[in-house]
Amino acid sequence: MPTQSETQLGALIHARGLTKRFGELVAVDAVDFDVAPGEAFGFLGPNGAGKTSTMRMIGCVSPVTEGTLRVLGQDPATDGPQIRARIGVVPQSDTLDMELTVFENLLIYGRYFDLSHKEAGRRANELLEFVQLDERKQDQVEPLSGGMKRRLTIARSLINEPDLLLLDEPTTGLDPQARHLLWDKLYRLKQRGVTLVLTTHYMDEAEQLCDRLVVMDKAKIVAEGSPRELIAQYSTREVLELRFAPEVQDSLDGKLDGLAERVERLPDRVLIYTADGEAASAEAHRRGLEIESALVRRSTLEDVFLRLTGRTLIE
């Protein structure tokens, strides 16, 4: 049931000037954002950008240093347990009990939410089926694969049937198959109306899952919008990636001028931002540059991030 203030604000999460400091260190610097019900909202940024600190404040486990934060219409400072009763949390590293079985992990977690044994057991069985772990029900957690542990953590986060699900780097360290399986599960949850808030430093993950996202860098939000909007606003339609032999790349000064709106030189390649990649490629060849390979692709969030911060996401 939405509370009155929740209805008035219309946002499940409402942050204004939200700040987190650890002594001298500013982890989150006066960020503003709102998350609407049913939305999949992402925090994109490199390690150390303040994503996890923000998530921990939303999850009511880390006190807000300054600013306003309302989660499900309530104040984490005073209503922490009530808010936490209605959210699910998938932390960055799994906090499962390795000595307990898969089923026991879910059962005891249900007890933390004051569910009866019967109800917790019923939900645990249902969730294990949902994350395709029902056959491992009586197994200990320790020997499970990383992807299975992650799925179990997601199942665990759903035991209280949360209105809001917080996922901190849900697929970091997983192989591609495990990631796609997880994305599928998250997509199904979203279809059921669960609001998802996730952090990631994977562009493809953000593009796959997020309706809307903010890009964080150095404790601040530097851009906000849907993946498509961000690409339209901060990048060009296409990108031409040129690779040169190292000594050639070092002596390119001026030779690419005027080729496109923007040219970004990375250690291993040069990115040419342009509406028409093929035309730029033809022009580069016409100039007689010693190109080893040329690739035309669509712009991604990685390009947006590079534009905004001058750095790649994973470095």
Residue 215 CA to residue 224 CA, distance in Å, equals 6
- Asked whether position 267 contacts another protein by CB under 8 A, the answer is no
Please choose, from the candidates 6, 9, 13, 15, the residue with its C-alpha nearest in 3D space to the C-alpha of residue 221: 15
Which of 3, 8, 47, 226 binds another protein (CB under 8 A)? It is: 47
Least distance in Å: CB of 82 to another protein? 7
Q: What is the rounded CA–CA span in Å between residue 45 and residue 63?
A: 22
Report the distance separating Cα 87 and Cα 79, nearest Å: 13
Token digits for 278? 């093929």
Helix (H) / strand (E) element for 282: namely helix 277-286
Between 61 and 266, CB nearer to another protein: 61
Which of 19, 62, 200, 236 forms a contact with another protein (CB under 8 A)? 62
Pairing of strands 87-90, 164-168: parallel
- The stretch near another protein (CB under 8 A) out of 97-105, 125-133, 231-239, 303-311 is 97-105
Angle between helix axes 301-309 and 227-234 (nearest 10 degrees) is 50
Q: Which of 8, 68, 93, 226 binds another protein (CB under 8 A)?
A: 93
**Binders of another protein among 203-262, rule CB under 8 A?**
none
Within 45-182, strands assigned E span 66-71, 87-90, 164-168
For the bound state, the minimum distance from the C-beta of residue 89 to another protein, rounded and expressed in Å, comes to: 4
**Among positions 22, 175, 228, 255, the unique one binding another protein when judged by CB under 8 A:** 22
Residue with smaller CB distance to another protein, 51 or 185: 51
Interacting residues with another protein (CB under 8 A):
22-25, 27, 47-48, 50-53, 56, 59, 61-63, 77, 80-82, 84-85, 89, 91-93, 95-100, 104, 108-109, 111-114, 156, 160
